[in-house]
Amino acid sequence: MMRKFAAAKVEDIIKSIPMPVYAPIEENGLVQYDRYEEGAKLNLDTCKTEKSPKDVLFPQWEDMMHFRVEGKNISLTEQERCSQDYVLFGARACDLKAFEVLDRVFLVDPVDTYYAARRAHGITVAIACGQPEDTCFCGVFGIDPANPTADVVLWKAGEEYYAEAQTKRGEELMANWETEEANAADVEPVKAEITKKLAEKPFANLSLKGLDGDHMMEMFGSDKWKKLSMACLGCGSCTFVCPTCQCYDIRDYDSGKDIQRYRCWDSCMYSDFTLMAHGTNRPTQVERYRQRFMHKLCYYPANNEGLYSCVGCGRCVRKCPMNLNIVKVIKALGEENK
């Protein structure tokens, strides 16, 4: 059932939620997902945050366990998994689709219990994109920004939010919100306007033809990779803002009293990625560049029923200092450009 409430009341609704809420918070001019606290500057109108809400499920830095060695005795203290329900508020359709990509990595055997606990306790409240940016191209991957999939979905129409629960958990969450009954038909013009705006964006008509698991060796052997990657700095900016990248490293830190084991995000664009005693299996930047985009557009869909490991959020388009992004790869290697 469709409900509605005044847009000016959205912060009151967030405050009324009896569990931690992670939402887009603006600080020093940047909008990031963070835990909402009284006095925080909430920004729900930003189309896409600097980093994605992936950070809530798969933190950039995560403590895993501590060891203490005393003589011949070793004691181990494992960090607790997430055990409290929380709400992810304000996520967009592309970032929620990215969770499906992450699920296929972290929730298959052997299951990543840290990720699984956070995933199980999370309740999602999505907001349909009112104003897609020029760097958005989620529609290319079949994502509809007007109809996100979440426990609760919000659409902003003028000075009101329309809200619809899509799951039982969503209904339970909305039960305590101060809302009034609304007509679902009133949201249709909002959805149509979002669809129209996205269709007008520069990358709306990108073609993925020829970029899939069926064209693996042809794509791998293309002579265009060298030119495409020539200016790449290997800075990893693209991987750190990407909502679907899942590479990480596990490290030990000796504090002098005990050893802290933690994991942190890593990047296939770094020269020391997977570095071992014999070296690395991708010693040149062109190989590392090719690996990143082959995984997004070829390897992942080949092993996941055609699901691409890109959701068209456009963060890499916006962030790459050398303008070397997935859009350029799609345009250069797609069949329509051969």
Last residue of a domain, one of 139, 171, 199: 199
pLDDT tens per residue across span 238-252: 999 999 999 999 999
Does 206 fall in a domain?
A: no
* Mean pLDDT taken over the chain: 93
Does 29 fall in a domain?
A: yes
**329 with 291, same domain?**
yes
Mean pLDDT of 249-259: 89
**235 with 182, same domain?**
no
**169 with 45, same domain?**
yes
**163 with 224, same domain?**
no
**230 with 313, same domain?**
yes
**10 with 156, same domain?**
yes
Kindly report the backbone phi and psi dihedral angles of residue 200, in degrees, each rounded to the nearest multiple of 5, phi listed first: -90, -5
**40 with 11, same domain?**
yes
Tokens 């830190």 correspond to what residue? 253
Mean pLDDT of 86-115: 97
Are 154 and 129 in contact by the 8 Å Cβ rule? The answer is no
Does 241 fall in a domain?
A: yes
Does 69 fall in a domain?
A: no
Q: Residue 338: is its pLDDT beyond 70?
A: no
Does 324 fall in a domain?
A: yes
Mean pLDDT of 244-272: 91
**41 with 127, same domain?**
yes
| Whole-number pLDDT of residue 278 | 73
**54 with 172, same domain?**
yes
Predicted TM-score of the model (pTM): 0.93
Last residue of a domain, one of 157, 172, 199: 199
Give the pLDDT band (50/70/90) at residue 129.
Answer: very high
Count the helix, strand and coil residues of the chain and give each as a percent rounded to the nearest 5.
Answer: 35, 20, 45
Distance between CA atoms of residues 90 and 127, nearest Å: 5
Give the pLDDT band (50/70/90) at residue 44.
Answer: very high
Q: Which percentage of the chain shows pLDDT scores above 90?
A: 84
Greatest CA span in the chain, whole angstroms? 71
| Whole-number pLDDT of residue 110 | 95
Q: Residue 315: is its pLDDT beyond 80?
A: yes
Distance between CA atoms of residues 162 and 155, nearest Å: 5
Q: Residue 12: is its pLDDT beyond 80?
A: yes
Q: Residue 70: is its pLDDT beyond 60?
A: yes
**20 with 150, same domain?**
yes
Q: Residue 215: is its pLDDT beyond 80?
A: yes
Does 329 fall in a domain?
A: yes
| Whole-number pLDDT of residue 59 | 96
Write the DSSP symbol of residue 295: I
Last residue of a domain, one of 172, 199, 226: 199
Q: Residue 277: is its pLDDT beyond 80?
A: no
Does 63 fall in a domain?
A: no
Distance between CA atoms of residues 328 and 176, nearest Å: 47
Q: Residue 337: is its pLDDT beyond 60?
A: no
Q: Residue 336: is its pLDDT beyond 60?
A: no
| Whole-number pLDDT of residue 74 | 86
Q: How many domains does the structure of the chain reveal?
A: 2
Does 98 fall in a domain?
A: yes
Write the DSSP symbol of residue 252: E
Mean pLDDT of 195-205: 95
Distance between CA atoms of residues 250 and 239, nearest Å: 17
**52 with 188, same domain?**
yes
**232 lies in which domain range?**
213-337
**290 with 328, same domain?**
yes
Q: In what order do the strands lie in the sheet with 160-165?
A: 30-35, 21-27, 86-91, 122-127, 152-157, 160-165, 3-6, 180-181
- Token duo for residue 114: 């840290």
Give the pLDDT band (50/70/90) at residue 230.
Answer: very high
